[in-house]
């Protein structure tokens, strides 16, 4: 499929997924959500990247995201979180190969610190109450997410910056809703920010180098 076709399919599947989540249509969601990532993987492969190596690492990240989506839909939280953790490590490796700006990274660090205080501390505390292993998994995931946020912002590439900010927002909403309490927008907002983040990261391949 061409890049344009992959993006159209991804957009249609994403909107279908949001509609399914809003109406609790689980069978539709189980088809539409992973289809979004499949289409975005196709788009990442079809795109002409500024740096082919970064593209390879981002495709790996997307593939782990797909595995994580399936695991979470089937109710397997720890395997799903582990898959997303590996995906974040792939994104970290990709961003580390791009030109980074110290001032932007410092801003990313401040933003992550704010997220960690407002969302991270109560989420980790709630997860540890359920089990020590779960608490450690959530903590490790947060550290990896912080790396993605700091390095992504450090690229100073607007599309990448927007992508990692949305990814952080999606993960913060998901984890808060799972461990602490209801979040505004619920699962729909989690899916919208997540799909937006992944799409923007694919788009950033055009300029990341």
pTM: 0.95
d(CA 28, CA 21): 9
d(CA 113, CA 11): 32
CA angle in degrees (0–180, nearest 5) for 193-81-21: 40
What are the two backbone dihedrals, phi and then psi, of residue 51, each rounded to the nearest 5 degrees?
-140, 110
- φ/ψ region of 186 (left if φ > 0, alpha if ψ in -120 to 50, else beta) reads left
Question: Which helix (H) or strand (E) is 110 found in, with range?
Answer: helix 102-115
- Model confidence over 22-44: pLDDT tens digits? 999 999 999 999 999 999 999 99
- Model confidence over 115-163: pLDDT tens digits? 999 999 999 999 999 998 899 989 999 999 999 999 999 999 999 999 9
* Residue closest to 154 by CA, chosen among 97, 195, 85: 97
Q: How far apart are the first and last CA of the chain?
A: 25
d(CA 166, CA 163): 5
The whole-chain average pLDDT of the chain stands at 95
How much of the chain exceeds pLDDT 70, in percent?
Answer: 100
- Over 90: is that where the pLDDT of 1 sits? no
Is residue 72 within 8 Å of residue 80, measured between CB atoms?
A: yes
- Model confidence over 70-104: pLDDT tens digits? 999 998 988 999 999 999 999 999 999 999 999 99
For 50-66, what is the mean pLDDT? 98
Is residue 40 within 8 Å of residue 198, measured between CB atoms?
A: yes
CA angle in degrees (0–180, nearest 5) for 45-50-54: 60
Which contacts qualify for 25-28: CB closer than 8 Å, 24 or more apart? none
Is residue 58 within 8 Å of residue 42, measured between CB atoms?
A: no
């Amino acid at each position: 499929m061409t890049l344009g076709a992959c993006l159209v399919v991804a957009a249609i599947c994403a909107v279908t997924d949001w509609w399914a989540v809003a109406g609790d249509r689980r069978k539709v969601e189980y088809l539409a959500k992973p289809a979004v990532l499949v289409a975005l993987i196709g788009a990442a492969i079809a795109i002409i990247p500024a740096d082919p190596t970064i593209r390879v690492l981002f495709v790996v990240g997307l593939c782990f995201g797909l595995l994580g989506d399936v695991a979470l839909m089937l109710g397997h939280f720890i395997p799903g979180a582990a898959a997303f953790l590996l995906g974040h490590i792939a994104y970290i490796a990709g961003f580390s190969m791009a030109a980074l700006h110290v001032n932007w990274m410092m801003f990313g660090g401040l933003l992550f610190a704010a997220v960690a205080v407002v969302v991270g501390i109560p989420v980790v505390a709630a997860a540890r109450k359920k089990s020590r292993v779960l608490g450690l998994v959530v903590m490790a995931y947060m550290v990896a997410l912080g790396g993605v946020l700091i390095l992504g912002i450090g690229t100073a590439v607007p599309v990448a910056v927007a992508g990692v900010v949305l990814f952080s927002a999606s993960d913060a909403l998901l984890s808060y809703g799972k461990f602490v309490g209801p979040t505004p927008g619920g699962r729909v907002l989690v899916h919208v920010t997540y799909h937006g983040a992944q799409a923007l990261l694919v788009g950033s391949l055009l300029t990341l180098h």
